[in-house]
Amino acid sequence: MRAGHFPQHMGDNLEHNLRSIAGLRPTWAGLTEQDAGRVTTFLRIKATVGALYRILSHDRGGHSQECPILFKRTRRIFWRITRNYAIQISDDLGEAGIANDRWMNLVEAERRGIWRRRSRPKLLLIWTHWNAAIQDRRTGDPLTHLPRWQAMNDKAGPFLEAAIRSGQAEGRDVIVGGDFNYRVGAKSGNWYYAPENIFKRCRMKFHHEGLDYLAWSRGLRHDGVHVVMPNPSNPQALNRSDHPWLYADFEWVK
């Protein structure tokens, strides 16, 4: 089961990137900066890969559809989507592109068919995009005096951790992807709700590249996280976004 974090830069080079993602054949592909409820990216996604992927994105207004999850269509149906919902993790603070309203997109799914080795797998996938400019680039410390950091501390971090723990309590393996606008560094762990600290407390493993993370439950394993670095100016590049893509081939620990 291939799953990955494929951040985008608004609508730039979107069709090219979607075709590249489809070529990688992930079962689950989380996107960012789509704002499907506010602009036309939803129609562009559907026109480009709609025959190959189902778009899972719950519209609650505002920027609630910024992080759609693409679910691969297959002749045999291996997964049943049981729920797709959005949770708001920050109000609009009036800083467009930096601290607008922020959300998490959550998908619950169950494996179909006969599963003899263990109980039938259940998944919770969470994709999100946190406020920008919440960390001192020089020291790595959180910028605790800024309202945009305070919103992440008061709602985004607690809500993410609560969602992960709720999924785990229901027996779900959890995969989280997102642009957290927060780098792992010498002082990054000084923040209780730093993404790395949330994942560690929830006993999840994770891989990060700059601001972007892919995290997974310990009930899942893989042979390594693949990273596709961005090169937006090269028409031949696989990834013409402005952030790296992270994906892995997961299987269940026996």
pTM of the prediction?
0.96
**Which amino acid is it at 124?**
L
- Please name the residues in contact with 176: beta carbons below 8 A apart, sequence gap of 6 or more: 125, 126, 127, 128, 160, 164, 199, 204, 206, 213, 214, 215, 216
Q: What is the pLDDT of residues 22-51, one digit of tens each?
A: 999 999 999 999 975 566 688 899 999 999
Residue 146 is which amino acid?
A: L
What is the spatial distance between Cα 42 and Cα 55, in angstroms, rounded to a whole number? 8
Domain positions in the chain are 2-252
Query: What pLDDT, in 10s, does the model give residues 43-81?
Result: 899 999 999 999 999 999 889 999 999 999 988 778 999
> Of all residues in the chain, what percent carry a pLDDT higher than 90?
83
Residue 186 has pLDDT above 90, yes or no: no
Arithmetic mean of pLDDT over the chain: 93
149-158 pLDDT, tens digit per residue, is: 999 999 999 9
From the CB of residue 251, how many other CB atoms can be counted at a distance below 10 Å?
A: 12
Q: In 3-state terms, what secondary structure has residue 174? A: strand
C-alpha dihedral sign at 174, 175, 180, 186 = positive
Please give the order of strands across the beta sheet that includes 102-111: 79-90, 102-111, 122-129, 173-179, 212-217, 204-209
Q: How far apart are CA 135 and CA 72, in angstroms?
A: 35
Contact residues for 98 (Cβ-Cβ < 8 A; gap 6+): 131, 132, 133, 148
CA gap 177, 127 in Å, rounded:
5
pLDDT over 70 (residue 169): yes
Residue range 2-252, CATH number:
3.60.10.10
DSSP state of 107: E
Nearest Cα to 163, choosing from 222, 215, 213, 224?
215
CB 169 within 8 A of CB 120: no
